[in-house]
C-alpha cells in the first residue's frame, strides 16, 4: 500500500482500477531516439493506417450523410498528397522525428489559412487540425484517446486533462480521476466537481501507477491510496456511506441566494435545488466541433434551460473562448490567457457575437434570462458590446421576433482592471458577477492551471481580498446586484468574509449547493464581520489561511 499526496479538486471517494490514458504526443516523441529509417517507416505506416481507418469511417458514415463521407475522403487525399508526403520525407531525412515533421508541415498550412475569415476556410483549418492530430496519434501509438469505453469502477489516470476531454468521460463507469498536472480552479476541475467525480490533481508520477491495480481516490483530502490493504478499503467504504447519508437540506437565510454554475443543458437538471443559474459557461457549447453552433442550435439549448428553470434566474455568459478553452476555429496565440479571448474575440468577430446574442434574446421570452459579458477590462468594451446587443435587438424587432426588451446585461469582474474601475463600470452594467478564479490569477500573476505556483495563487492573498471587497462595495453603493461565481463562493473559509463584505448572491457548482447553503446558515452578519475585521488587518496569505482554518475548526 502506498499513499501519494496531491491537490484535492473534486470531493468524494472513488475506489476502482487504474486505467492510464497517454495523450501527450510531444512528450512521447521526446522520449524516442531519432533514427531516420525508423521515423520514415513510422510516417509511412501512420499515413497508411490513417487512410485505412478514415476510409472505413467514410463507408459507415455514407449511409447517413454523403457530404460528411466526402469530407473524410478529402482527408485521405490530403494525407496522400505528394507535396505533403515528399516534404515529410525530406524533413525526416534532415533529422526531424516523424511527429515533428507532421506537426511542422500541417501547422504551417494552418498558419497560412488562419488569415482568412470565411467559413469554408475555417472548415479546412478544422480538417487539417483533425488530420494532424490523427496522424500524430497514429505515429506515436497514442491515438486511442478513448475515455468513454472503460469498464465499471475505472479510475482514469492522466498526465493532464483538458476541459474538452471531460466531455468524453463515461460518468457511469468512472469513479475517480488522477492527473499529474492541473489545479483546483482549472476548468477541468470545475467540470469534474459538477459531474460529482472525485478527483486529485498535481499527483507527481501518477502515470507510474500500475495499469489495472486497485486505487482509492480521496478527492476530499487530496490523497491517492495505491494498492490499499483490506482495512483501508473497509474504512473508506464506511466514510463513503457516511457522506451519502449526510446530505440533508439545511434551513438557510433567504436573504442569501445560492445559484449554480453550469456548462450545458444537462447540468441545469442538477441545479434545480438552487435559486437559479448564476453562470452558464456557454463556451463549452462551442468546443469539440469544427464550426460554432448555429443560432437555432443555441436558441434551443437556452430555451430548454430557461424552461427547465421555470422562472428562476438564468445568467447566460457569452462565449468565453480562449485561454485553456480553445476551439478549432480560433487562431492559436502565443499567450492565449492574455490574448484575444472572451469579449475581445466577440468584438473582433461581430457576426459570431451577434449570432449568440440573437439566440439568447429569442430564448429570453421563455424564462428569466440575463446576459453576462466575460473578461471585461474597460468601459468601452461594455459600451461596444451593448451597441451590438442593440443591433441584434433592432434586427429581431424588424423581423417581428419576440424577445425580452428589458433584458439585463451584467458583466464579469475578473480582471484587475475591471476591479479597479468597478465604480465606473457599475454605471454601465445592470449587475456584477465576480470571477474570483481569474481575478486571483491576474492579480497574483499566476497561471490558475499550474500546480507549481498554487502556493501563490490564492483568493486569501490580501491583494485579492481587498479588491473583492472593493468590487462588492462599488456594486452596493451604486445599487446593482453583485454575485460571485468563482470557485471561492463555495469555500467555507471564504464564506464569512463574503458575507461581511455584503455579498448576497453565491454561484457555485451544482453539487455544492446544499453544502454552501449550510455554510451560509452558520453565520450571522455580526460574527462574520468580526472574522473579516481580523482578517483584513493581517498581512500575509499564510496568516489569513491559518486563522480562518482555526476559526472553522471551532464552529
User: Which of the residues are catalytic?
Assistant: 187, 485
Counting contacts by CB under 6 A, is residue 483 touching ligand PEP?
no
Among 12, 435, 475, 510, binds ligand PEP (CB under 6 A): 435
Distance CA(487)–CA(168), nearest Å, equals 23
Q: Residue 437 or 519: which CB sits closer to ligand PEP?
A: 437
Burial environment of residue 227 by CB neighbours within 10 A (0 to 12, 13 to 18, 19 or more): middle
Distance CA(376)–CA(373), nearest Å, equals 7
Q: Residue 75 or 281: which CB sits closer to ligand PEP?
A: 281
Distance CA(189)–CA(454), nearest Å, equals 14
**Count of other CB atoms within 10 angstroms of residue 199:** 30
Q: How far is the CB of 63 from ligand PEP (least distance, A)?
A: 39
Q: Which of residues 350-379 bind ligand PEP (CB under 6 A)?
A: none
Helix segments in 199-261, DSSP class H: 230-245
436 contact choice in Mg ion, ligand PEP, none (CB below 5 to 8 Å, kind-dependent): ligand PEP
Counting contacts by CB under 6 A, is residue 103 touching ligand PEP?
no
Counting contacts by CB under 6 A, is residue 182 touching ligand PEP?
no
Q: How far is the CB of 289 from ligand PEP (least distance, A)?
A: 19
Kindly state the cell numbers that stand for 274: 438552487
Q: Residue 260 or 485: which CB sits closer to ligand PEP?
A: 485
Distance CA(508)–CA(256), nearest Å, equals 13
392 contact choice in Mg ion, ligand PEP, none (CB below 5 to 8 Å, kind-dependent): none
Q: Which of residues 204-233 bind ligand PEP (CB under 6 A)?
A: none
Q: Residue 138 or 372: which CB sits closer to ligand PEP?
A: 372
Distance CA(345)–CA(336), nearest Å, equals 11
Q: Residue 134 or 438: which CB sits closer to ligand PEP?
A: 438
Q: How far is the CB of 412 from Mg ion (least distance, A)?
A: 6
Would you put residue 398 in left (φ > 0), alpha (ψ -120 to 50) or beta? Answer: alpha
Q: Residue 200 or 443: which CB sits closer to ligand PEP?
A: 443
Edge-to-edge strand order for the sheet containing 154-158?
A: 2-5, 223-226, 214-218, 13-21, 154-158, 174-179, 199-201, 7-10
Among 414, 428, 491, 541, binds ligand PEP (CB under 6 A): 414
218 contact choice in Mg ion, ligand PEP, none (CB below 5 to 8 Å, kind-dependent): none
Q: How far is the CB of 437 from Mg ion (least distance, A)?
A: 5
Q: Judging by DSSP bridges, how do beta strands 199-201 and 505-508 pair with one another?
A: unpaired
Q: Residue 129 or 436: which CB sits closer to ligand PEP?
A: 436
Q: For ligand PEP, what does the binding mask look like between residues 269 and 288, x meaning CB under 6 A?
A: ----------x-x-------
Among 218, 267, 438, 483, binds ligand PEP (CB under 6 A): 438
Q: How far is the CB of 6 from Mg ion (least distance, A)?
A: 24
Q: Which of residues 302-341 bind ligand PEP (CB under 6 A)?
A: 320
357 contact choice in ligand PEP, Mg ion, none (CB below 5 to 8 Å, kind-dependent): none
Residue keyed to cell 437540506: 249
Q: Are 278 and 313 in contact (CB under 8 A)?
A: yes
15 alpha carbon, distance to own chain's centre: 25
Kindly state the cell numbers that stand for 126: 478544422
Kindly state the cell numbers that stand for 532: 473579516
Q: Which of 84, 85, 80, 61 is nearest to 72 (CA)?
A: 61
Q: How far is the CB of 439 from ligand PEP (least distance, A)?
A: 7
Q: Residue 206 or 314: which CB sits closer to ligand PEP?
A: 314
Q: How far is the CB of 146 from ligand PEP (least distance, A)?
A: 27
Distance CA(507)–CA(516), nearest Å, equals 9
Among 197, 485, 490, 503, binds ligand PEP (CB under 6 A): 485
Q: How far is the CB of 12 from Mg ion (least distance, A)?
A: 25
Distance CA(436)–CA(457), nearest Å, equals 11
Q: What is the DSSP letter of 486?
A: S
Cβ-closest position to ligand PEP: 435
Helix segments in 63-162, DSSP class H: 66-80, 82-93, 98-114, 119-140
Residues that bind Mg ion (CB under 5 A): 414, 435, 438
Residue 224 φ then ψ, to 5° = -115, 130
Distance CA(163)–CA(286), nearest Å, equals 12
Q: Residue 322 or 435: which CB sits closer to Mg ion?
A: 435
- Part of the chain binding ligand PEP (CB under 6 A), chosen from 83-91, 230-238, 435-443, 508-516: 435-443
Q: How far is the CB of 323 from Mg ion (least distance, A)?
A: 8
- Part of the chain binding ligand PEP (CB under 6 A), chosen from 201-209, 293-301, 381-389, 432-440: 432-440
Q: Which helix (H) or strand (E) holds 15?
A: strand 13-21
281 contact choice in ligand PEP, Mg ion, none (CB below 5 to 8 Å, kind-dependent): ligand PEP
Q: Are 462 and 538 in contact (CB under 8 A)?
A: yes
**Contact residues: ligand PEP, CB under 6 A:** 279, 281, 320, 414, 435-438, 485-486
Amino acid at each position: 500500500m502506498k499513499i501519494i499526496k496531491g491537490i484535492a479538486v473534486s470531493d468524494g471517494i472513488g475506489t476502482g482500477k487504474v486505467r492510464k490514458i497517454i495523450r501527450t504526443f510531444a512528450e512521447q516523441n521526446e522520449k524516442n531516439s531519432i533514427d531516420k529509417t525508423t521515423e520514415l517507416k513510422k510516417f509511412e505506416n501512420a499515413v497508411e493506417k490513417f487512410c485505412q481507418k478514415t476510409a472505413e469511417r467514410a463507408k459507415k458514415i455514407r449511409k447517413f450523410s454523403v457530404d460528411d463521407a466526402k469530407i473524410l475522403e478529402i482527408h485521405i487525399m490530403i494525407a496522400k498528397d505528394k507535396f505533403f508526403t515528399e516534404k515529410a520525407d525530406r524533413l525526416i531525412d534532415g533529422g526531424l522525428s516523424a511527429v515533428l515533421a507532421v506537426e511542422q508541415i500541417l501547422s504551417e498550412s494552418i498558419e497560412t489559412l488562419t488569415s482568412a475569415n470565411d467559413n469554408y476556410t475555417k472548415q479546412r483549418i478544422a480538417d487539417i487540425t483533425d488530420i494532424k492530430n490523427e496522424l500524430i496519434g497514429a505515429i506515436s501509438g497514442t491515438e486511442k484517446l478513448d475515455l468513454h469505453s472503460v469498464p465499471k469502477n475505472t479510475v482514469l489516470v492522466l498526465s493532464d486533462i483538458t476541459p474538452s476531454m471531460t466531455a468524453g468521460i463515461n460518468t457511469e463507469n468512472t469513479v475517480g480521476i488522477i492527473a499529474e498536472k492541473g489545479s483546483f480552479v482549472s476548468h477541468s476541475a470545475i467540470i469534474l466537481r459538477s459531474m460529482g467525480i472525485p478527483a486529485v490533481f498535481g499527483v507527481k508520477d501518477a502515470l507510474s501507477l500500475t495499469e489495472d491495480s486497485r486505487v482509492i481516490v480521496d478527492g476530499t483530502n487530496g490523497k491517492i491510496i495505491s494498492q490499499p490493504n483490506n482495512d483501508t478499503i473497509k474504512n473508506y467504504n464506511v466514510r463513503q456511506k457516511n457522506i451519502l447519508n449526510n446530505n440533508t437540506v439545511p434551513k438557510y437565510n433567504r436573504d442569501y441566494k445560492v445559484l449554480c454554475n453550469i456548462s450545458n443543458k444537462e447540468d441545469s437538471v442538477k441545479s434545480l435545488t438552487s435559486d437559479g443559474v448564476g453562470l452558464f459557461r456557454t463556451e463549452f457549447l462551442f468546443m469539440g466541433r469544427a464550426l460554432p453552433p448555429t443560432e437555432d442550435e443555441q436558441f434551443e439549448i437556452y430555451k430548454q434551460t430557461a424552461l427547465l428553470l421555470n422562472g428562476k434566474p438564468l445568467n447566460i455568459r457569452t462565449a468565453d473562448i480562449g485561454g485553456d478553452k480553445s476551439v478549432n476555429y480560433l487562431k492559436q496565440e502565443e499567450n492565449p490567457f492574455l490574448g484575444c479571448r472572451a469579449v475581445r474575440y466577440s468584438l473582433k468577430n461581430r457576426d459570431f457575437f451577434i449570432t449568440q446574442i440573437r439566440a439568447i434574446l429569442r430564448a429570453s421570452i421563455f424564462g428569466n434570462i440575463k446576459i453576462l459579458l466575460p473578461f471585461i477590462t474597460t468601459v468601452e468594451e461594455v459600451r461596444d458590446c451593448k451597441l451590438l446587443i442593440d443591433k441584434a435587438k433592432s434586427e429581431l424587432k424588424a423581423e417581428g421576433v419576440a424577445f425580452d426588451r428589458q433584458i439585463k446585461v451584467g458583466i464579469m469582474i475578473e480582471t484587475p482592471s475591471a476591479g479597479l474601475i468597478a465604480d465606473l463600470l457599475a454605471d454601465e452594467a445592470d449587475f456584477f458577477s465576480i470571477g474570483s478564479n481569474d481575478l486571483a490569477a491576474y492579480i497574483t500573476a499566476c497561471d490558475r492551471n499550474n500546480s507549481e505556483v498554487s502556493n501563490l495563487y490564492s483568493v486569501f492573498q490580501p491583494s485579492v481580498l481587498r479588491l473583492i471587497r472593493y468590487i462588492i462595495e462599488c456594486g452596493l453603493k451604486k445599487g446593482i446586484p453583485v454575485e460571485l461565481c468563482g470557485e471561492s463562493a463555495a469555500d467555507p473559509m471564504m464564506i464569512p468574509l463574503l458575507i461581511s463584505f455584503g455579498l448576497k448572491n453565491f454561484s457555485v457548482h451544482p453539487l455544492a449547493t446544499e453544502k454552501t447553503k449550510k455554510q451560509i446558515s452558520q453565520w450571522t452578519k455580526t460574527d462574520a464581520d468580526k472574522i473579516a475585521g481580523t482578517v483584513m488587518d493581517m498581512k500575509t496569505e499564510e496568516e489569513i489561511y491559518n486563522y480562518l482554518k482555526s476559526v472553522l475548526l471551532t464552529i
